[in-house]
Amino acid sequence: MTRTKLIAGNWKMNNTFTSATQLVGDIAAGLPNALNAEVWIAAPYVYINTLAENTSNTPIRIGAQDISTHVSGAYTGEISGEMLHSVGAYFVLVGHSERRNYFGETDEIIATKIDAALNSNLIAVYCCGETLEEREAGNHFDIIKTQLHTGLFNFSELALNNIVIAYEPVWAIGTGLTASPEQAQEIHAFIRTQLLNKFGAATADKMRILYGGSLKPNNAAELLAQPDIDGGLIGGASLVEADFNYIINAASTAI
């Protein structure tokens, strides 16, 4: 089956309102005419409403970088799925390694967040991946298997229609280090086999698995050509219009 490639930018805590609106406008203007990929941007909460409006006539979809586990109520500072959906968010990142490492998110919390996203008609981008120590100790397959089983595999086959997986080797995020195409493909294939064993061929075949971790113009084509890499979750390079559009182009023309 052909899975449509997906390029998702993750802006993290970057851009002012002015630079955010400018950047999205520039990205939209720079999209190829024959776009053959999906383009998503995970923006800071406070810009979602405007960016979603500004891109409503373009193929770009705007999403959030996090979501509350709670539905509503006395949770000062939290943002619910319903709120996100009501301002035009299309998707939400869940379980990014920065949320896991700096904010103590466990696979259990992350599973609750996926549930919150799905209940609010948002697509959940479930992030998983190993640290450098875990890779050096040769534990990366076990770590990812546990993350998948605890964070994701309690959901139904139907729910998985609204979930995208992002494999992000933590050691490659924001460091300039990248998994080699072979290393990335190896893990992506492993994740797809886990999906196959749990849900069967149809689900394993249609689920998109993105690669994240210093995906840049100079390595995009090679990574995106791997058979089990269905796109990218892109931090640093999504902040630079020329770089992001270059990667979108690479995805759009990848087989």
Active site residues: 96, 168
Write the DSSP assignment of 17-52 as a string of letters: HHHHHHHHHHHHHTS-TT--SEEEEE--GGGHHHHH
List the one residue from 135, 230, 236, 243 that touches ligand PGA (CB under 6 A).
Answer: 236
Could you tell me the strand order of the sheet in which 60-63 lies?
60-63, 38-42, 6-10, 231-234, 209-212, 163-167, 123-128, 91-94
List the one residue from 88, 95, 213, 231 that touches ligand PGA (CB under 6 A).
Answer: 213
Q: How far is the CB of 172 from ligand PGA (least distance, A)?
A: 6
- 233: contact with ligand PGA by CB under 6 A: yes
The interface with ligand PGA within residues 116-175 (CB under 6 A) comprises 168, 173-174
> Nearest residue to ligand PGA, using CB?
235
Neighbours of 25 (CB within 10 A): 15
- 95: contact with ligand PGA by CB under 6 A: no
Q: How far is the CB of 60 from ligand PGA (least distance, A)?
A: 17
Closer residue to ligand PGA (CB): 204 or 213: 213
Q: If you compute the radius of gyration of the chain from its CA atoms, what whole number of angstroms results?
A: 17
Report DSSP state, residue 240: S
Report DSSP state, residue 191: H
227: Cβ–Cβ under 8 A, 6 or more apart, which residues?
185, 189
Neighbours of 202 (CB within 10 A): 11
Closer residue to ligand PGA (CB): 55 or 97: 97
- 212: contact with ligand PGA by CB under 6 A: yes
- Secondary structure class of 142 (helix, strand, coil): helix
Closer residue to ligand PGA (CB): 25 or 217: 217
- 7: contact with ligand PGA by CB under 6 A: no
- 234: contact with ligand PGA by CB under 6 A: yes
- 235: contact with ligand PGA by CB under 6 A: yes
Closer residue to ligand PGA (CB): 204 or 237: 237
Report DSSP state, residue 241: H
180: Cβ–Cβ under 8 A, 6 or more apart, which residues?
none
x/- letters, 47..86, toward ligand PGA (CB under 6 A): ----------------------------------------
The binding site for ligand PGA (CB under 6 A) comprises 10, 168, 173-174, 212-215, 233-237
